[in-house]
Amino acid sequence: MDIEQLTTLSIYMLNDYKNEIEKSALIDCGPRLELVCKCINISFEHAIAINTLFSSNLTIPALTLLRIQFESVVRAYWLLFVATNSQILKLKFKWTFEEQLEKDNYPTVSKMINELNEANLQFIKHIIQMFLEFKKYHLTHLNSFIHSGKQAFVRNAVGFNSDFIKILIKQSNNLSALVAQIIFEHSNQKQLIHSLHEKHIKCFYRIDEVDVKMKKRFDSYKLKD
């Protein structure tokens, strides 16, 4: 499957997830879940834009959005399980001029992951582990793209391997599936977690696709650091 075919399938998959999310009748959990839902909607907008950019061969902008998508997914889980009531209330926007000028003092993505990990949430332990692995293997170079750092200059000159791009597309899709689980868990639609994943299995990055040699090389390098 080439990049264009994968992005076409991915956008179809994302819209399928969005349709099911919109049809889901959520259990009323107050302002916390309301903010989480907004975060989920934002993350899906990022995901659709990422696939659109990849299909247009705009790889570096797509990678900057992948970094932002990752943070929106982590923040959705952080808002739901870790954020204090005070932090939740501060995110309720009143559309005042002053609010638009206020500095956002919310935790970084690394801090949110650490707080989730330290909260010992056994029922989402596998999801937190995915966040930790994404951070370990991708966050440093994605941050470089965000800030027009060295990775951006190097990749602008040498380009990207198509197989690498397909992996990133699939990992973006994995993030979308992860964040959609929140909605399905809170709307008595748990069966959709598995049925939609199976329906769109070609869009997701699977454990059997991991390059074991490259992973081992990366891990060895990081251990020396």
Q: How many helices (H) and strands (E) does the chain have?
A: 12, 0
pLDDT at residue 210 is higher than 70? no
pLDDT at residue 222 is higher than 60? no
What's the pLDDT score for residue 50? 97
Per the prediction, the chain carries an average pLDDT of: 88
pLDDT at residue 130 is higher than 90? yes
Q: Regarding predicted confidence, which is higher, 104 or 63?
A: 63
- Cα distance between residue 211 and residue 225, in whole Å: 21
Least confident of 31-45, 103-117, 119-133, 149-163: 149-163
Average pLDDT over residues 66-89: 94
C-beta neighbour count of 192 within 10 angstroms:
20
| CB burial of residue 118 (10 Å; 0-12, 13-18, 19+) | exposed
What's the pLDDT score for residue 225? 42
CB 55 within 8 A of CB 3: yes
- Cα distance between residue 175 and residue 77, in whole Å: 12
Average pLDDT over residues 165-172: 95
pLDDT at residue 214 is higher than 70? no
Average pLDDT over residues 108-131: 94
Per-residue pLDDT of 5-36, as tens digits, reads 999 999 999 999 999 998 887 766 678 888 99
What's the pLDDT score for residue 148? 86
What does the domain layout of the chain look like in residue ranges? 3-92+106-224
Tokens coding 224: 């020396």
- Cα distance between residue 85 and residue 82, in whole Å: 9
Top-confidence range, 55-64, 93-102, 181-190: 55-64
What's the pLDDT score for residue 209? 63
pLDDT at residue 176 is higher than 90? yes
Residue type, 76: A
pLDDT at residue 188 is higher than 80? no
- pTM of full prediction above 0.85: yes
- Cα distance between residue 153 and residue 138, in whole Å: 17
Q: Regarding predicted confidence, which is higher, 154 or 219?
A: 154
Average pLDDT over residues 150-173: 88
Percent of the chain topping pLDDT 70: 87
Residue type, 84: T
What's the pLDDT score for residue 220? 67
